[in-house]
Amino acid sequence: MRDDLDFRQSLFPGSASGDLDLFVPGVRLSTRGLPAKDQLAYITQEMQPFVRKLSPLAGRSPQEGFYSDISGYYFDGLPILDVKSDGYTFLPPEKKDPSLTDSYPWILMVRLKGEAEYVVDGKRFRYAPGEVNIRTPDNQLAGTVTDSDQIMFYLDPDQVSGLEDTLNWLSSADGAASIHPLLGQYLTALGGVLPGIPKEEAATVASTTLAMIRACLSRLPDDIVAASHPMRATRLELARQHVDAHLKSPDLSPDTIRSVLALSKRRMNDLFEECGGVQNYIRGRRLLACFKAILANSGESPVMSIAEDFGFCNGAHFSRVFKAHFGWSPSDARDMARHTLATSTYERWLRDEARLQAASPQGERP
């Protein structure tokens, strides 16, 4: 099962289909294919409404080339840029472009990879992956960015009506560190699935994202209720990441997950109710990891050795829960893995697809 689908399917059920008409970037700016000496000048020219001067990091010459790949999406009135690039320093433009700044007076950014240091009102702020910062035309930033991937959201005044003062304060030095971390977690997860969003979900992407922005910035009860679905999906994604990173740890428990999510026991139980409870969710992820490990080593390692790695110490119990979850026994999975070694490339591909379908928990598709 492709793990990157978990978050997307929880937010956009239509994306579970294997036959999608995917949303593609409306604009693509890339230095690939350009002579190295022309790459930095090209991307600086393209981004001139937002930067006055763009320079490579110390130790690199503009003549050596500058990698940048920018994909621009327009989801039902919400422009989103996915910007991948080498590290750079920049200065803000000397003049505003009213046609842009009036239409989109706030730019909300989250880093997926790399770090950035911005100067805001004369003070320096560092942003790591998952952290959000906001900029406005009246508070243009200068700064330094390492090799990175960042997502930028351009906010229309009508979309954030009532949050104007809050957005301006959060873009200032006083408010720069006051953005709720759940927003960064949601935007990071969204950034990871942008290339796979189906066209029919474009309006949902926009409305869901704006609901999350409103809820995390205003923190008003009505806004929080309106964003309950994406908030739940984001917390489940955080839980999945934590569980998958600690599948072999004997300390993995509902209490450790609750600590990561900062939830009460009652809210934690509500979050995992549809999964059959926290313990059932953990067991399901461990079983899936066992299934993948059995296939990956082509049946060479003893099944119980793999099971014990993931905390299953009783062979009879493991076989019983494995078969209940996937519909066949661990030994069946091992035999199929061994048989794959003798199959043709074409047959192996077909079998791999069938296994992924069968290994997906009920209601999911790869």
pLDDT digits (tens, 9 = 90+) for 166-188: 999 999 888 888 898 999 999 99
Q: Which two tokens stand for residue 229?
A: 């679905």
In the prediction, which pLDDT does 337 show?
72
In the prediction, which pLDDT does 83 show?
93
241-250 long-range Cβ contacts below 8 angstroms, 24+ apart: 243/281, 243/282, 243/285, 244/3, 244/285, 244/289, 247/285, 247/286, 247/289, 247/310, 247/311, 248/309, 248/310, 248/311, 250/311
pLDDT digit string, tens, across residues 78-109: 999 999 999 999 988 877 777 777 888 999 99
Round to whole Å and give the CA distance between 141 and 71. 22
pLDDT digit string, tens, across residues 47-78: 887 888 899 998 889 999 999 999 999 998 89
Residues facing residue 52 across a β-bridge: none
User: The CATH number of 246-359 is which of 2.40.110.10, 3.40.50.1860, 1.10.10.10, 1.10.10.60?
Assistant: 1.10.10.60
Cβ distance 1 to 353 under 8 Å?
Answer: no
Kindly tell me if the per-residue pLDDT of 363 is higher than 60: no
Round to whole Å and give the CA distance between 82 and 106. 16
Kindly tell me if the per-residue pLDDT of 216 is higher than 60: yes
Q: Which of 213, 257, 258 is nearest to 231 (CA)?
A: 213
Q: Backbone phi, then psi, for 99, in 5-degree steps?
A: -65, -25
Range scoring the smallest mean pLDDT among 156-160, 271-275, 352-356: 352-356
Q: Which of 358, 355, 290 is nearest to 318 (CA)?
A: 290
In the prediction, which pLDDT does 32 show?
92
pLDDT digit string, tens, across residues 235-279: 998 899 899 999 999 999 999 999 988 889 999 999 999 889 999
| Per-domain boundaries in the chain | 10-228, 246-359
Class of the 10-228 domain? mainly beta
pLDDT higher at 296 or 249? 249
Range scoring the smallest mean pLDDT among 125-134, 145-154, 195-204, 232-241: 195-204
Round to whole Å and give the CA distance between 74 and 81. 9
Kindly tell me if the per-residue pLDDT of 351 is higher than 90: no
Q: Backbone phi, then psi, for 145, in 5-degree steps?
A: -130, 130
Residues facing residue 78 across a β-bridge: 75
- DSSP H helical segments within the chain, as ranges? 5-11, 36-46, 98-101, 164-170, 181-193, 202-218, 221-226, 228-245, 254-261, 265-271, 278-296, 303-309, 315-326, 330-340, 345-359
Q: Which of 164, 188, 300 is nearest to 238 (CA)?
A: 188
* CB environment 70-107: b (16+ within 10 A), e (fewer): bbbbebeebbbbbbbbbbbbbebbeeeeeeebeebbbb
CA distance readout (Å), 347 to 280, 339, 352: 34, 11, 9
In the prediction, which pLDDT does 149 show?
94
